[in-house]
Amino acid sequence: MKHIRNFCIIAHIDHGKSTLADRLLERTGAITEREMQSQILDDMDLERERGITIKSHAIKMDYVSPADKQKYVFNLIDTPGHVDFAYEVSRALKACEGALLIVDAAQGIEAQTISNLYQAIEQDLEIIPVLNKIDLPGADIEVAAQQVMDLIGCEFDEILQVSGKTGIGVDELLEAIVQRVPPPKGDPEKPLKALIFDSVFNTYRGSIVYVRIMDGTLRKGDSIKFMAVDEEYDADEIGYLRIKDEPCDVLKAGEVGYVIGSVKSLEHTKVGDTVTTVKNPAKEPIAGYKEVKPMVFSGIYPTDSEDFESLRSALEKLQLNDASLQFVPETSAALGFGFRAGFLGMLHMEIIQERLEREFDMNIITTVPNVEFEIINRDGKKVTVDNPSEMPDAGNVEKVFEPYIKAQIITPSEYIGAIMKLCQERRGVYVNTTYLDGTRVDITYELPLAEVVFDFYDKLKSFSRGYASLDYEFIGQREGTMVRLDILLNGEPVDALSSIVHREKAYEWGKKLCAKLRELIPRQMYEVAVQAAIGNKVIARDTVRALRKDVLAKCYGGDVSRKRKLLEKQKEGKKRMKQVGSVEIPQEAFLAVLSMNND
């Protein structure tokens, strides 16, 4: 065990985490150059495209230290890098004894990094500070190093200077991992306690569970038990996580590996749960397991109602990979049968949406996202509402409570004004400002989550030229004057277009939403009246004029051929339209709210 080093990497998006990880893999021979595909840890297409890590991964490396000629085993556990996935991060940290804190020498520290760093410190991880991208002309080693020293109270000499791109400093980094990350503790003789830090679904093999053995020993063939969900399986295959899975017979305390046990039941392998053996079970599970609570909700409907069951099975499969995704069936008058799904945040929602479309070839409609409200009715009854159409009529509502978050924004000081203005517009309550150094500020606000889920992050980024970073935590429910805003098309309410908004913003919101829908709904045979209403009161109106001309001028030899090909394309387009009453609504219209503020 004393030759094992389990560590993770803490870094802000774009600070070069994946490139540096690739370099470590290369130096330790975990991958050959031929296998080298840029950023090998991010193996989902989406991750590679967006340049962010969504799921936790782990990879085992062998390293012979030139200092003592001993062979060491490194387990690098790669963690997600977005505020939506804070819980997954905490579980991945729990599986490690050390953390590389990677800071872009040109950018300095950012909010996301700090939040993950604090978690790591809280869990007693040994922090190895690393300045990355020192080869860049914009690198300011002195300033970045000072920030790191202020933050974790280390000495300048303890900070490693590397470049993932050129490979400078990587050898020193490998040696520092050996010297500074403590070997894992744990007793192989104790009852088994294995922490699930992620699980992925494989069509043929069921759930593949990634674990860190905290105590005890797991043998191939053992009967095992998932403690929180209280389900039993057999460990049919166990092994180490290399580029290709490497089966083995025994995983001992301190080691990181995978377990496959024909777990077909979808909710049994939750991140944070403890695996133990049936024969000699642990008394207590590993502390810190929690049911992840979704923060953002939206409806997901198949465009073609016949695909309801396929959508269910696709969501179930995604859920296995992603225990934080929750969904229950619901019905919409406009969209038919679908699901109300809960997500950790907006990025999470976008990811699920994209994966449904890409990996499962689903044609879906997503409705306007909203947060969960607590409503006290006139009769004193309390209801929880995560779907605008469930909101009682205004006359029945006594009080509405909405979730608030504490947002920590780190930004270069020149953007303070713009960012504070944004927070005020979003009903934010100012808490304080702290100067991190001469040029960087930490601004704290309390904000209604509802105001953050839409496009707050995008706005924040655009107001600060990409420099500001955001981290937030839930702080509780507060009262707010919220109303349900309905959208009517040709006089018929379309439930899937309803949203819950702050009363003071309802008029502005309604007007903008109507205008956006006018843009998004194509002209059709008849005029379409678009109205926004609170209760019976129409507060805004717009019109999609009737289609006046849509006919090809020429239709001869080659034109017929062209026209037919166009027809095939249009047929596909039709599939992406939803007929609600007499009106055809394109998918994008159901998310009109999201693009409303971009104009």
Partner 1 sequence: MAGIYLHIPFCKQACTYCDFYFETSQKHRAGFTNRLLREIDAASDSFFSDTRFETIYIGGGTPSRLSSEEVSSILKRLHDRFTVDTNAEITMEVNPDDITQEKLQSWKDAGVNRLSIGIQTFDENRLKFMNRAHTPDEARNALRMISEAGFKSLTADLIYGNPGQTAESVRKDIAELMRFDPPHISAYTLTVEPNTRLGSMVRKNLVQPAEDDEVALQMDVVVEELRRHGIERYEVSNFAKPGHESKHNGAYWYHKNYLGLGPSAHSFWWDYDREKACRWFTKPSLKKYMETDPLPLVKSLSEFVESGEKWELAEAEWLNLNQLGEERLLTGMRTREGVKEAELNSRYDYELSQNQIKFIDHLRQKGLMFPDDPLRFTSEGMKIADYLILDIITKRPS
Nearer to partner 1, 287 or 553 (CB): 553
Tokens 């100012």 -> residue: 430
Q: CB of residue 567 vs partner 1: minimum separation in angstroms?
A: 7
Q: Is 328 in the site for partner 1 (CB under 8 A)?
A: no
Q: CB of residue 556 vs partner 1: minimum separation in angstroms?
A: 5
Specify whether the CB–CB gap between 5 and 121 falls below 8 A.
Answer: no
Q: Angle CA(492)–CA(493)–CA(494) in degrees, nearest 5?
A: 115
| Contact residue for partner 1 among 138, 380, 491, 557 (CB under 8 A) | 557
Specify whether the CB–CB gap between 311 and 329 falls below 8 A.
Answer: no
At 550, list the tokens. Answer: 């849509």
Q: Is 545 in the site for partner 1 (CB under 8 A)?
A: yes
Nearer to partner 1, 27 or 523 (CB): 523
Other C-beta atoms closer than 10 Å to the C-beta of 405 total 23
| Contact residue for partner 1 among 465, 560, 595, 598 (CB under 8 A) | 560
Taking CB under 8 A as the binding criterion, the range among 68-76, 168-176, 307-315, 566-574 that sits at the site for partner 1 is 566-574
Q: Is 550 in the site for partner 1 (CB under 8 A)?
A: yes
Helices H / strands E in the chain, number of each: 14, 33
Single-letter residue type at 148: V
Q: CB of residue 570 vs partner 1: minimum separation in angstroms?
A: 5
- Compute and round to an integer the Cα radius of gyration of the chain: 27
The rounded distance, in Å, linking the Cα atoms of 7 and 125 is 9
At 504, list the tokens. Answer: 């003071």
Q: CB of residue 583 vs partner 1: minimum separation in angstroms?
A: 13
Q: Is 558 in the site for partner 1 (CB under 8 A)?
A: yes
Question: What is the 8-class DSSP label of residue 36?
Answer: -
Q: CB of residue 224 vs partner 1: minimum separation in angstroms?
A: 49
| Contact residue for partner 1 among 424, 561, 595, 598 (CB under 8 A) | 561
Question: What is the 8-class DSSP label of residue 286?
Answer: P
Single-letter residue type at 259: V
Q: Is 564 in the site for partner 1 (CB under 8 A)?
A: yes
Residues in contact with 99: Cβ distance below 8 Å, sequence separation at least 6, in sequence order: 7, 8, 9, 10, 93, 117, 120, 125, 126, 127, 128
Q: CB of residue 305 vs partner 1: minimum separation in angstroms?
A: 14
Taking CB under 8 A as the binding criterion, the range among 88-96, 122-130, 450-458, 565-573 that sits at the site for partner 1 is 565-573
Q: CB of residue 489 vs partner 1: minimum separation in angstroms?
A: 18
The rounded distance, in Å, linking the Cα atoms of 160 and 148 is 11
The rounded distance, in Å, linking the Cα atoms of 455 and 443 is 19
Spatial strand order of the sheet with 223-226 comes to 231-234, 223-226, 274-277, 193-202, 206-215, 256-260, 237-240, 246-248
Q: Is 563 in the site for partner 1 (CB under 8 A)?
A: yes
Q: CB of residue 491 vs partner 1: minimum separation in angstroms?
A: 19
| Contact residue for partner 1 among 384, 555, 597, 598 (CB under 8 A) | 555
| Contact residue for partner 1 among 36, 333, 431, 547 (CB under 8 A) | 547
Of the candidates 242, 262, 238, the one whose C-alpha atom is nearest the C-alpha of residue 250 is 238
User: Mask: binding to partner 1, 502-531, rule CB under 8 A, as x and -?
Assistant: ---------------------xxx------
**Dihedral angle sign, alpha carbons of residues 235, 228, 267, 13:** negative
Q: Is 548 in the site for partner 1 (CB under 8 A)?
A: yes
Nearer to partner 1, 328 or 551 (CB): 551
Nearer to partner 1, 278 or 567 (CB): 567
Q: Is 553 in the site for partner 1 (CB under 8 A)?
A: yes
Nearer to partner 1, 434 or 570 (CB): 570
Specify whether the CB–CB gap between 440 and 411 falls below 8 A.
Answer: yes
Q: How far apart are the first and last CA of the chain?
A: 58
Q: CB of residue 304 vs partner 1: minimum separation in angstroms?
A: 11
Q: Say how many residues touch partner 1, by CB under 8 A.
A: 24
Instruction: For helices 170-180 and 17-27, give the axis angle rounded to 10 degrees.
Output: 80
Single-letter residue type at 83: V
Q: Is 306 in the site for partner 1 (CB under 8 A)?
A: no
| Contact residue for partner 1 among 313, 384, 439, 570 (CB under 8 A) | 570
| Contact residue for partner 1 among 51, 552, 595, 598 (CB under 8 A) | 552
Cβ burial, residue 310 (10 Å; 0-12/13-18/19+)? middle
Q: Is 537 in the site for partner 1 (CB under 8 A)?
A: no
Q: CB of residue 595 vs partner 1: minimum separation in angstroms?
A: 22
Q: CB of residue 487 vs partner 1: minimum separation in angstroms?
A: 24
Binding site for partner 1 (CB under 8 A): 523-525, 545, 547-558, 560-561, 563-564, 567, 570-571, 574
